[in-house]
Amino acid sequence: MEAKHQLHSENYAADISSIKDAHGRISPFIHRTPVLSSESLNYIAGKKLFFKCECFQKGGAFKFRGACNAIFSLMDDQAAKGVVTHSSGNHAAAVSLAAKLRGIPAYIVIPKNAPKCKVENVRRYGGQVIWSEATMPSRESVAAKILQETGAAMVHPFNDGRIISGQGTISLELLEQVPQIDTIVVPISGGGLISGVALAAKSINPSIRVLAAEPRGADDAARSKAAGKIVKLSETNTIADGLRAFLGDLTWPIVRDLVDDIITVEDKEIIEAMRMCYEILKVAVEPSGAIGLAAVLSDGFQKNPAWNECKHIGIILSGGNVDLGVLWESLNK
Amino acid sequence: MEAKHQLHSENYAADISSIKDAHGRISPFIHRTPVLSSESLNYIAGKKLFFKCECFQKGGAFKFRGACNAIFSLMDDQAAKGVVTHSSGNHAAAVSLAAKLRGIPAYIVIPKNAPKCKVENVRRYGGQVIWSEATMPSRESVAAKILQETGAAMVHPFNDGRIISGQGTISLELLEQVPQIDTIVVPISGGGLISGVALAAKSINPSIRVLAAEPRGADDAARSKAAGKIVKLSETNTIADGLRAFLGDLTWPIVRDLVDDIITVEDKEIIEAMRMCYEILKVAVEPSGAIGLAAVLSDGFQKNPAWNECKHIGIILSGGNVDLGVLWESLNK
C-alpha cells in the first residue's frame, strides 16, 4: 500500500523531514525513553516484543513530544502571547509543561467534571486553569474567547502537523534502538500518535507494518477505515479514557493510507494487559497505554494469517498516568 | 577512608577485575537496565537523582546478575551436577533462571510458609522445589542433604565472591550511563549488592560516596558499623521482606571499609517512596527496592551536612516483585 503514496508533506500534514526537524527541536527537553523487553511476554505472545516506554516520558505520556514541538516552533512574538488548549488529559499537562519550559503562558480550558488529578497535573506544570461546562461546545467557546482576548496560539491535541511531527519522533528513536523491528502497534484515538509513527517508520523502512489498537467501545477508526471516510460515534464506552477522540481531517488521510490494519480489543483485554505490564514488565501503564499489548495478544492479531510474518514487534506504551486505586479496582472487577 | 584500603581481592572477596570478568560473562544473558530520572523527584529531593532500574532485570531483581555469574563460573563437570540454594525470595528465582539458561538442575529449598507467588516464580523458571520447615536449621539441613545426594554446588545469596562480583556489574553500567554520579545509595541486607557496587564504584572513582539504606526494623548493618563487628538481631520487623538478612564474613569487611554511612528509614518512608516510584516514575518497585529513594528523602540524609555535597545521586531500584494487592494495601494503611 505504501508504494502508492509519496510520504511527503504535499500529501500529508507532516513528513520524515518535519519529524527529523522536530526531533532536533525537542531533544534537549524530552526523555529518550528506553525500550524494555521480557522473555515471559515474548513466550506468551509467540513474538519478540519491544516496549517503547513513553509512560516514562515527561508528564507521563508521549503527548509531551508533540506539545513541545508545537510550542518551540512558534515565532517569539507569537509565543509571547501564550498557548491555549481544551484537552483535559495528558495533552493539557504536556502543553503546560512545554509552555513553562519556553517561559510563556498556557491557558488550559478544563470541563468542570474533569478528574482532580488531571487538574492538579496541569497546575503543577504551571498551566492556568480556565473552567468550562462539560460539553464540547462550551469547551470550544471558552477556548475561542481566550484566543480572542489573549492572541494566544491554539495547540490542538492531534489535528496539527507540528503535533504529528513531534509524536513521529518516537519512530526515529525506536528504529535506532531496535533496527530489526518489522511491525509497530500503536494506540489510536484522534490519530496524532499513529500518524507520526507511521510516516516516520514507513519513510525509514517501507516494509514496516503499522497496526492500530483501538477499544471496541470507541471503534470509530476501524469503522472509518471500513467506510473509507471519517466516521464519528454518537457515544463511546471504554476504560481507555485517552482513546475516545475521533480522527481529524489531517490525521485521517494518513491513517487511511498508511495504517495497515486496526485491531479492536475489549476492555477486559486492556485490563489484563495492564496487569501484565505491572506484574511482568514492572511498569505502570494506563489503559490507553496498555492497549497495544492487548492487541498483540488478541485473537484479532494472533489468528489473522496476515500477521504471521510479524516477528519483531514494537509496542508503544503511550502513557502511565493511572491512579493506583483505579488500576487496583479495574483489576478486581 | 577508601585511600587506606587497597581494593584488591587479597583484601576482599571480589575486586574490579573479578567484576569486569563477571560483566563479560553475564552480558549475553542480563538486561542492561535503563536509568530513569524525573524532574519532579529532583525537585522534591533537592538533588539530581538517577534511578538504576534493576526492577526491569530478568526475574524482576538485581539478583539475576550474581546468580548468573556464579552459575556460569562453574566448571562443566561441577555444573552438570546442578546448584542448590535455600533462599525463598528473588535469589531463588534468579538461581532457577540462570540454571535453566545453563541447562543444569536447580534445587531450591523453600520453607513451607513461603508465599505462593515466590514458589510459582521458582517453578516458572524451572527450579525444582524441595520443601523444608520454616526454620533456618531445617532449611540448612535440607540443603545439606541435597548437596550430599547430588553433589550440586551451593549458590549462597550474598556471602560469595562470585555473587558480589555479579552484583558489582551494576556500577560498571551506571557509571557509564551517568558518569557525573558522585553518590550511590544502595539497599543493604546480607551485603552482596552493596559490596559489589562499592568495590566497583570506588575502583573507578575513589571519591564516590556509597551509602546504604536500611529499614529501622532490621538495622543490623547500622549496628554492625557502630560496633565495628557483625551484629545480628534476634528478630526483624519491616515491610521490606528482602532486607532481613544479616551481613556475612565476606561482605562485612567491604561494608565496614567502603560504605560511607548507613541511613535507616521507617517503613512508612519506604511505603511513601514506593508510592512515588509508582505515581511519578511509573515503575513498580518492591519495598526493598524503594528504600534508596526513601533514604535520600529522609532527614537522616537531607539534614546531615556531610551529604550536602552529594549532587548527582545514583539510586538502585533493586527489585520490582511486589504484588499489586500488597502495594495497594500498604499504601492505604
Residue B324 to residue A279, Cβ atoms within 8 A:
yes
How far A272 CA sits from the closest chain B CA (Å)?
13
Give the list of residues 6+ apart from residue B116 with CB closer than 8 angstroms, or none. Answer: none
Contact B282 A285 (CB under 8 A): yes
One-letter amino acid for residue B178 of the chain = V
Closest residue to B282, CB basis, from A124, A275, A320: A320
Describe the crossing of helices A63-73 and A90-102 by its angle, rounded to 10 degrees: 40
What was the pLDDT predicted at A3? 44
Q: Nearest residue on chain B to A325, judged by CA atoms? A: B328
pLDDT score at A31: 97
Give the angle B296-B298-B303 at the CA atoms, nearest 5°: 95
Whether residues A282 and B56 touch (CB distance < 8 A) is answered with yes
Helix (H) or strand (E) holding A96: helix A90-102
Q: DSSP string covering A177-204, please? A: H-TT--EEEEE-SSSHHHHHHHHHHHHH
Q: Is A282 within 8 Å of B285 when comparing Cβ atoms?
A: yes
pLDDT at B4: 46
Chain B residue nearest residue A54, CA to CA: B282
The strand pairing partners of B83, in sequence order, are B106, B153
Which three-class secondary structure string do you get for A120-148?
A: HHHHHCCCEEEEECCCHHHHHHHHHHHHH
Residue whose grid cell is 539534614: B303
Beta strands in A57-174 (DSSP E): 83-85, 106-111, 128-132, 153-154
Nearest to B331 among A124, A284, A324 (CB): A324
The count of C-alpha atoms lying within 13 angstroms of the C-alpha of A210, restricted to the half-sphere facing its C-beta, is 30
Q: Which of chain B's residues have a Cβ under 8 Å away from the Cβ of A177?
A: none
Query: What is residue B17's predicted lDDT score, i.e. its pLDDT?
Result: 97
Q: What is the largest CA-CA distance in chain A?
A: 57
Cα gap B270→B220, rounded to integer Å:
17
**Which of B50, B71, B147 lies closest to B107, judged by CA?**
B147
Length of chain B: 333
Domains of chain B: 2-61+160-331 (3.40.50.1100), 63-154 (3.40.50.1100)
- Whole-number Cα distances in Å, B305 to B212, B299, B300, B301, B302: 17, 11, 10, 8, 8
Q: Residue B53: CA atoms inside 13 Å, Cβ hemisphere, count? A: 22
Nearest Cα to B300, choosing from B239, B224, B238, B212?
Answer: B212
C-beta separation of A255 from A13 below 8 A: no
Residues of A in contact with B284 (CB under 8 A): 278-279, 282-284
Chain A positions in Cβ-Cβ contact with residue B34 (cut-off 8 Å): 34, 36
**Nearest by CB to A282, which of B124, B279, B320?**
B320
Least Cα separation, residue B5 to chain A (angstroms): 38
| Minimal Cβ distance to B284: which of A37, A124, A278 | A278
* The predicted structure's pLDDT at residue B9: 62
Compute φ and ψ for A214, nearest 5 degrees: -140, 140
What backbone phi and psi angles, to 5 degrees, belong to A289? Answer: -80, -25
Strand-pairing partners, residue A272, are: none
Provide the 3-class DSSP secondary structure of residue A167.
helix
- Which residue in the set A37, A60, A275 is minimally distant from B282, CB to CB? A60
Residue A9: the pLDDT is 62
Which residue of B53, B173, B282 is the best one to mutate when testing the A interface, meaning the one whose CB has the most A CBs within 10 A? B282
- What's residue B3's pLDDT? 44
Q: 509508582: which residue's cell? A: B278
Three-state helix/strand/coil letters over chain B = CHHHCCCCCCCCCCCHHHHHHHHHHHCCCCCCCCEECCHHHHHHHCCEEEEEEHHHCHHHECHHHHHHHHHHHCCHHHHCCCEEECCCCHHHHHHHHHHHHHCCCEEEEEECCCCHHHHHHHHHCCCEEEEECCCHHHHHHHHHHHHHHHCCEECCCCCCHHHHHHHHHHHHHHHHHCCCCCEEEEECCCCHHHHHHHHHHHHHCCCCEEEEEEEHHHCHHHHHHHHCCCCCCCCCCCCCHHHCCCCCCCCHHHHHHHCCEEEEECHHHHHHHHHHHHHHHCECCCHHHHHHHHHHHCHHHHCCHHHCCCCEEEEEECECCCCHHHHHHHHCC
Answer whether A324 sits within 8 Å of B36, measured CB to CB. Answer: no
Residues on chain B touching A327 (C-beta within 8 angstroms): 324
- Cβ distance B278 to A285 less than 8 Å, yes or no, reads no
Task: Give the residues of chain B that fall short of pLDDT 50.
Answer: 1-4
Q: What is residue B88's predicted lDDT score, i.e. its pLDDT? A: 67
pLDDT in tens, chain A (333 residues): 444 456 766 789 999 999 999 999 999 999 999 999 999 999 999 999 999 999 999 999 999 999 999 999 999 999 999 999 987 689 999 999 999 999 999 999 998 887 777 788 899 899 999 999 888 789 889 999 999 999 999 999 999 999 999 999 999 999 999 999 999 999 999 999 999 999 999 999 999 999 999 999 999 999 999 999 999 999 999 999 889 899 999 999 999 999 999 999 999 999 999 999 999 999 999 999 999 999 999 999 999 999 999 999 999 999 998 888 777 887 776
Which of B283, B325, B327 is opposite residue A283, by nearest beta carbon?
B283
pLDDT recorded at residue A1:
42
Cβ-Cβ contacts under 8 Å between A and B: the total is 52
Asked whether A50 and A176 are in contact (CB, 8 A), the reply is: no
Say which residues have a Cβ less than 8 Å from residue B219's Cβ, sequence separation at least 6.
B233, B262, B264
| pLDDT in the model for residue A5 | 53
Distances (CA, A) of B133 to B85, B109, B141, B142: 15, 10, 10, 9
Q: Which residue of B has its CA nearest to A327?
A: B324
* Dihedral of alpha carbons A50, A52, A55, A56, sign: positive
Provide the shortest C-alpha distance from residue B34 to chain A (in Å).
6
Q: What is the ipTM of this complex?
A: 0.92
pLDDT of residue B8: 67
Are B125 and B321 in contact, with CB atoms under 8 Å apart? no
Residues on chain B touching A278 (C-beta within 8 angstroms): 284, 324
Task: Report d(CA B134, CA B138) in Å as an integer.
Answer: 7
- Is B327 in Cβ contact with A324 (below 8 Å)? yes
Can you tell me the distance from the alpha carbon of B90 to that of B29, in angstroms, rounded to the nearest whole number?
17
How far apart are alpha carbons B195 and B221 in whole angstroms?
12
Strands A35-36 and A48-53: antiparallel
Q: Specify which residues B18 forms β-bridges with.
A: none
Question: Taking the mean position of all CA atoms in its chain, how far away is CA B269?
Answer: 19
Residues of A in contact with B116 (CB under 8 A): none
- Distance from B104 to chain A by nearest Cα, in Å? 19
Residues of chain A positioned with their CB less than 8 A from the CB of B39:
58
